[in-house]
Amino acid sequence: MKEPEEINGIELMEHYGYKGVSGKIKYYFRFIFNWVLQTLAKISPHPGLTVKLQRIRGVKIGNHVYIGPDVNIDDLYPGLITIEDYVSVGMRSMIFAHSNPTCSLEIKTKYYPRVVKPTTIKKGAWIAPGTIILAGITIGENSVVAAGSIVIKDVEPYTVVGGNPAKLLKKLDHADSPDKGG
């Protein structure tokens, strides 16, 4: 039976279409490159530079996006993260496209296998500082996620959610929104 670390390596190699020794080398270079860009983005003194560095990593980011300091965007699958136009992501937030119980073979194989799903933050959303967004989540258009929230299910457009796990706090009236022509 394979060890969890070996299974993790195989799963990542398959995701990126790498095979053999040369594939392993390519993957390690990819990982180091991503790690360097992620580290630079987290400490960048300018949000515009942060956005550029994350785009180089493969994160799909729209226009007029603010990403605060020390934001962690999935280390292994940055290409599965989409952040649309006019989004603000507060400092020390985390956005994931995967979940993986790395070391317990039993948990990994019987209960919680690796999850790899795209995560999307829609136009105009505000992600307050310290938020954690798990894999496969969609944050709705012009919604607000309160500081320190853990988002484990999709957030409807024009809503405010908060808490652990994040729950609906209120709906936003958008009848007069500029986006709705009101």
Domain-located, residue 92: yes
User: What residues make up the domain containing 163?
Assistant: 4-172
Residue-wise pLDDT tens digits, 151-182:
999 999 999 999 999 999 999 998 766 665 54
- What are all long-range contacts of 76-82, with beta carbons under 8 Å and residues at least 24 apart? 76/12, 76/31, 76/34, 77/15, 77/116, 78/34, 78/38, 78/54, 80/116, 80/117, 80/118, 80/119, 81/118, 81/119, 81/120, 82/118, 82/119, 82/120, 82/121
The distance between the two most distant Cα atoms of the chain, rounded to a whole number of Å, is 62
pLDDT (0 to 100) of residue 182: 46
Query: Residue 131's Cα: distance from chain center in Å?
Result: 11
Give a yes or no: residue 76 inside a domain: yes
Instruction: Report how far residue 82's alpha carbon sits from residue 84's, in angstroms, rounded to the nearest whole number.
Output: 6
Name the CA radius of gyration of the chain, rounded: 18
- CA 121 to chain centroid: 9
- Number of domains present in the structure of the chain: 1
Mean pLDDT of the chain: 92
Q: pLDDT category, 5, cuts 50, 70, 90?
A: confident
CATH number at residue 52: 2.160.10.10
In-domain check, residue 55: yes
Selection from 99, 69, 97, 63 nearest residue 83 by Cα:
63
In a domain, 181, yes or no: no
Q: Pairing state of beta strands 167-171 and 159-162?
A: antiparallel
Nearest in space to 84 (alpha carbons), one of 42, 120, 136, 30: 120
pLDDT tens digits, one per residue of 94-143: 999 999 877 788 888 788 888 899 999 999 999 999 999 999 999 999 99
Residue 178 in domain = no
pTM: 0.91
Pairing of strands 88-89, 60-61: unpaired
State pLDDT tens for residues 32-88. Answer: 999 999 999 999 999 999 999 999 999 999 999 999 999 999 999 999 999 999 999
Is residue 139 assigned to a domain? Answer: yes
Q: Decide: 136 and 95 in contact? Cβ < 8 Å.
A: no
Q: Is residue 159 part of a domain?
A: yes
Domain assignment of residue 179, yes or no: no
